[in-house]
Amino acid sequence: MFKIRKLLALVTGKALIALSRALGGQGTNLPGRLASFIYPPLLSELSRNITGACFMVTGTNGKTTTCNLAAAIIREQGFSIVHNQAGANMLAGITTAFIQNSDLLGQRTHDYALLETDEANVAPLLQIIKPRYILITNFFRDQLDRYGELDITVKLISSAVKGTGIELILNADDPLQSNWPSLTGLKCLYYGFDHTAYDNLDSADSRECRYCMLCGHELEYSYYHYAQLGRFQCPHCGHHNQQLDYVGSELSLEDGIAFKIGDLHLESRLQGFYNAYNILAAATLALESGFGKDIIKRAIASHQPAAGRMENFIIGGKQVFLILVKNPTGFDQSLAMLTGDIHTKNIFMALNDNAADGRDISWIWDTQVELLARSEEKITGLICSGQRSGDMALRFKYAGLDTSKIVIEPYLRKAIERTLGLEGQVTYILCTYTALFACRKILLRLRDR
Amino acid sequence: MAKFVIAHMYPDLMNLYGDRGNLICLQKRLEWLGQECEIRKCFLGDQVDLGKTDMFFMGGGSDREQELVFQDLRTRSEELWQAVQDGLPGLCICGAYQLLGEFYKAADGTIMPGLAFFGLHTVAEPGRLIGNILIEAEIDGSPSSIVGFENHGGRTYFDDPELKPLGKVLRGFGNNGKDKTEGLLYRNLVGSYLHGPLLPKNPVLADFFIHAMAERKRISIDVRLDDGIETIAHQQVEKMLA
């Protein structure tokens, strides 16, 4: 039967996407929201056009990169795919992705759907779509103010999946996921790294869960990969990491990333331990879904970093890196990478406190900004921008950095120009989510000038 | 130069929302004032010599962690209460503040007893009180603007009419979202719902603790620090709430 409301919803959605693009926006949420308002079953009906499987990816960090890598693998195999854009991971953004890939009658089919899903949107999305797998990256502190505490986030997702029969792909190194087989009653597959050259025995202060999820006693770690990820055991009840189904071994983080999963050797141009997890997660999902090893290897090797994930620009003959930061763990990983760079550097950080950034900016105090003070002679300036530029400057000041190097300039364009004017060899532009696209636009304009 | 010791109680359990920034702030300010400051971490079961401690700090935790802390804390509650009455400076944020009262009533009706230092209690009510907050407090005799970020499901009510709040809520929710009070001030002890963290953006409150600690050591610290960046950060929040 021809449904006029559905047609209207699709026409409106597509028109809004086109309009928003023409105006230079991302066109990610509004089209989906309005189209669903016009025709509420839209997402449910469009999702039935997926002939292969739907995959849902959630967790705190690494969702976007993991999805991008998995999408690259699926495309490498020649399949068509519906995949929501970076960060547009609420119901509205997911709906927009389906509209964009649909025809006006809502009948075009695709092989796969890859849905990056915000933690709080897992439950409502499961009411509409039943994925083949749900993959979880990790649980770190992120935008706590939206949900209360991390415990609540974990509970929200584990109770939403309970009884659905969906298979889970989980991170075995994260103690917050280790009790999920009993917690959810579902089949759980685990990926993780064995002992690597980058592990340490002590870890930073803001670890999320040092206590056993089952009995509340303090966990003992044989080693930490980073944050609370590592090999642990509860001395009281014996609870420990789940058996690994997919093991990342022989990890190298020199000049990119390389490691093995069994006889599959993977190499990538991405950087940092956190990206090694993203690659391992995406490869696990692909292997479990039956994709060939050569396809996986090729897709991962040719994958380029996405917007704000260490995107690289050359402006005025100098290297500029754009990095999205949104929580302490991500920020610390970026700082570790930045201090590892031997060049002199100009540092810019835009801190916003809109809903998508997290209204509460307290998390900057859970980071190891003190790391920067160790190689302060390499830092030409710390330019603080965005709505909470004062708070960022304050954090740098109390990390012991020279206040004569700290500048507060709330306006992004002015602040970026000022940063690029410093004499450092390399420039790092760090920013929270809602400043990302504005910063990127400014950088592109400066590059093309 | 004197050495100040600040006890960080349960840093692994009670440290939500960057609360350790309060300690970084006190330590750095003392150092800039030419003093030495040691942050001593106290874990579950550790012995704490309050006689050799100049101040204590405790942050917020989740319900599960708060229960572990309460069990440990009550074994030393008498000693702690005596020290507080003697003027030991202390800062208790969010969950730690709630622990100072008689009880906490969880959303499912469970009653968790507190240290009962003060005639106040906390009830978890539907909806979290979240957002930037501005209060007016009287610190060392002069009215001061205090800003922060609150995020709590518990509503704290004073049962003892003699209790003094830390300040009056101008924007935001405070203790319970109803009576315009925020936090608690008793001698040199401050209980508050304010994260942010509280002290870096409110140097007047950081200095209140520094002066209280110095006074107990009978040393005078009268140098003033350059609070230019602190003031900008404070004013950005004030302006947002205006």
Q: How far is A280 from chain B (nearest CA, A)?
A: 30
Going along chain A from its start, the domains and CATH numbers come out as 49-92+110-302 (3.40.1190.10), 310-448 (3.90.190.20)
Reported as a pLDDT band with limits 50, 70 and 90, residue A307 is: low
Q: CB–CB of A391 and B16 under 8 A?
A: no
Check CB contact of B197 with chain A, cutoff 8 Å: yes
Please tell me the predicted confidence (pLDDT) of residue A186.
95
User: In terms of DSSP bridges, do strands A133-136 and A110-116 run parallel, antiparallel, or are they unpaired?
Assistant: unpaired
> What pLDDT, in 10s, does the model give residues A236-282?
999 999 999 999 999 998 778 999 999 999 999 888 888 999 999 99
Region A162-171: mean pLDDT is 95
Q: Which of residues 8-27 of B touch A (CB under 8 A)?
A: 11-13, 15-21, 24-25
Interface test with B, best of A360, A371, A382 (most B CBs within 10 A): A360
Check CB contact of B128 with chain A, cutoff 8 Å: yes
Check CB contact of A148 with chain B, cutoff 8 Å: yes
Give the residue from chain B lying closest to A151, CA to CA.
B62
Please tell me the predicted confidence (pLDDT) of residue B102.
96
Residues of chain A positioned with their CB less than 8 A from the CB of B28: 398, 400
Q: pLDDT > 90: what percent of chain A?
A: 66
- Mean pLDDT (chain B) is 93
Q: How far is A156 from chain B (nearest CA, A)?
A: 15
Give the residue from chain A lying closest to B234, CA to CA.
A390
How far apart CA A299 and CA B225 sit, in angstroms, is 56
How far apart CA B196 and CA A364 sit, in angstroms, is 9
Residue with token string 């029969």:
A165
Give the residue from chain A lying closest to B200, CA to CA.
A394
Angle, vertex CA B206, rays to CA B202 and CA B212, nearest 5:
145
**Higher-confidence position of A152 and B15:** A152
Q: CB–CB of B11 and A205 under 8 A?
A: yes
Region A212-223: mean pLDDT is 86
Q: How far is B200 from chain A (nearest CA, A)?
A: 7
B125 CB-near residues (< 8 Å, 6+ apart): B153, B154, B155
What sign for the dihedral angle of Cα A308, A352, A84, A291?
positive
Residues of chain B positioned with their CB less than 8 A from the CB of A388: 233, 236
Please tell me the predicted confidence (pLDDT) of residue A21.
80
Least confident of A325-334, A353-362, B116-125: A325-334
Reported as a pLDDT band with limits 50, 70 and 90, residue A25 is: low
Please tell me the predicted confidence (pLDDT) of residue A26.
65
> What pLDDT, in 10s, does the model give residues A388-401?
999 999 999 999 99
Please tell me the predicted confidence (pLDDT) of residue A255.
73
Q: How far is A33 from chain B (nearest CA, A)?
A: 25
Please tell me the predicted confidence (pLDDT) of residue A397.
98
Reported as a pLDDT band with limits 50, 70 and 90, residue A143 is: very low
> What pLDDT, in 10s, does the model give residues A398-420?
999 999 999 999 999 999 999 99
> What pLDDT, in 10s, does the model give residues A33-83?
999 999 999 999 999 999 999 999 999 889 999 999 999 999 999 999 999
CB atoms within 10 A of CB A127: 10
- Asked if A324 and A429 count as a contact pair (C-beta separation under 8 A), the reply is no
Least confident of A146-155, A291-300, B16-25: A146-155
Give the residue from chain B lying closest to A367, CA to CA.
B18
Give the residue from chain B lying closest to A364, CA to CA.
B18
> What pLDDT, in 10s, does the model give residues B15-55?
777 888 999 999 999 999 999 999 999 988 888 889 999 99
A156 CB-near residues (< 8 Å, 6+ apart): A119, A120, A122, A123, A147
Please tell me the predicted confidence (pLDDT) of residue A311.
81
Q: For A435, how many CA atoms within 13 A lie in the half-sphere containing its CB?
A: 29
Residues of chain A positioned with their CB less than 8 A from the CB of B30: none
**pLDDT over 70 at A149, yes or no:** no
Check CB contact of B165 with chain A, cutoff 8 Å: no
Residues in a beta bridge with A171: A191
The answer to whether B42 is a known catalytic residue is no
Region B48-69: mean pLDDT is 86
> What pLDDT, in 10s, does the model give residues A192-212?
999 998 887 765 544 455 678
Q: How far is CA A48 from CA A42, A94, A112, A269, A285, in A?
A: 10, 14, 11, 36, 21
Please tell me the predicted confidence (pLDDT) of residue A141.
65
Check CB contact of B107 with chain A, cutoff 8 Å: no
Check CB contact of A363 with chain B, cutoff 8 Å: yes
Nearest to A391 among B19, B128, B233 (CB): B233
Check CB contact of A235 with chain B, cutoff 8 Å: no
Interface test with A, best of B229, B230, B235, B237 (most A CBs within 10 A): B229
Please tell me the predicted confidence (pLDDT) of residue A289.
96
Reported as a pLDDT band with limits 50, 70 and 90, residue A145 is: very low
Q: Which residues of A are catalytic?
A: 360
Going along chain B from its start, the domains and CATH numbers come out as 3-241 (3.40.50.880)
Please tell me the predicted confidence (pLDDT) of residue A205.
46
Q: CB–CB of B232 and A408 under 8 A?
A: yes
Q: CB–CB of B229 and A216 under 8 A?
A: no
DSSP B29-78: HHHHTT-EEEEEEE-TT----GGG-SEEEE----HHHHHHHHHHHGGGHH
**pLDDT over 70 at B197, yes or no:** yes
Region B97-106: mean pLDDT is 94
